[in-house]
Amino acid sequence: MFAKEFKNIIEEEAGALLKTAALISDSEAQKAIEIIVNCKGKVLITGVGKSGIIASKIAATMTSTGTTALNLSASDAMHGDLGVVSAADVVIAISNSGETEEILAILPHLKLRKTPIIAIVGAVFSTLAKEANVVLDATIEKEAGHLHLAPTTSTTVALAIGDALAMCVMKAKNITEQDFAINHPSGKLGKRLALKVSDLMHKNTFVLAEKSTWKEIVKTISNGKLGAVTIADSNKKLLGLITDGDIRRTIEKYKSDELENLKAIEIMTKNPITVFDTDLAYHALQLMESRNSQLSILPVINQENSFLGLIRVHDIIGKI
């Protein structure tokens, strides 16, 4: 019954976003981004009612992407909260009408502090727009829904503008995936971007020489319980890897009386695929799973090709 209207509302808001992209001038967008990038203090985002909720979301996004930001309640600002604002800060004010009483009340005090003001406003000739240093045009034709009253399209547009600011500032500051992960250590994405091979690998695992016998190889793999043994020289330089699969293939290839005379150098996979201990664990997982013949274990080395340990696919799955 309402499915068509449901989809129409989504399309209506999507259309408003496209119009907003065309409304905002390149120069105003550039100025807003530069002001935030060069901010030596905090970014304070303010709004009233639904705009206040959007302000809180934009502040959270900025904070998580490398820009210290806070939601400043316009209602509480005149009762002491203006104390958090300084000349080193930037204020982003959100108002569809541009005449929100609580926001207009704090403008003179922001001017007194010489705090730059970025307005996300739906009326470019409003008082807020006239007083702001930068105006980001969030004008809409109407709110969504049959009554066109509840803040819907206007808040969607304001949020999109805030997201665009946050992402551009993040890029301008050269925030990397690793920087982003620092603020998201417990989330799945954070772990994917923060956990290194060294955090999950099995260190000081058994290592054999290239002349080790068949019996020594089988015994070491059994004792190690990792399904593989590494072959290295006396300086711990990696030479090869022998896995359970190599053992099975060797048994199929040689007669039982020939196995006893085999040496590690004849069985091992020479120059195996490796990972550095400083690599992301997620990179190691991709390395193992992105091949036609998937790998279940990788030797871990340092930049000098010295063997440090082993990491298995099961060590990573579930951790990231």
C-alpha 45/C-alpha 49 separation (Å) is 13
Q: What is the pLDDT of residue 93?
A: 98
Q: Taking the domain 197-316, which CATH number applies? A: 3.10.580.10
Q: What is the pLDDT of residue 188?
A: 65
Q: Would you kindly state where each structural domain of the chain is located, as residue ranges?
A: 3-175, 197-316
The phi, psi pair for 134, rounded to 5°, reads -135, 140
Q: Each residue of 89-107: pLDDT tens digit?
A: 999 999 999 999 999 999 9
User: Which one-letter DSSP state was computed for residue 220?
Assistant: H
Q: Is pLDDT above 90 for 178? A: no
Q: Each residue of 51-76: pLDDT tens digit?
A: 999 999 999 999 989 999 999 999 89
Q: Is pLDDT above 80 for 305? A: yes
Q: Each residue of 108-165: pLDDT tens digit?
A: 999 999 999 999 999 999 999 999 999 999 999 999 998 999 999 999 999 999 999 9
Q: What does each C-alpha distance from 59 to 43, 69, 132, 135 come to in angstroms?
A: 8, 5, 19, 18
| pLDDT, mean over the chain | 92
Q: Each residue of 277-298: pLDDT tens digit?
A: 999 888 899 998 887 788 899 9
Q: Taking the domain 3-175, which CATH number applies? A: 3.40.50.10490
Domains 3-175 and 197-316 in one fold: no
Burial of 281 (0-12, 13-18, 19+ CB in 10 A): buried
| Token pair recorded at residue 136 | 């980001």
C-alpha 33/C-alpha 52 separation (Å) is 21
Query: Closest Cα to residue 39, out of 15, 72, 62?
Result: 62
Dihedral (CA of 168, 169, 174, 180) sign: negative
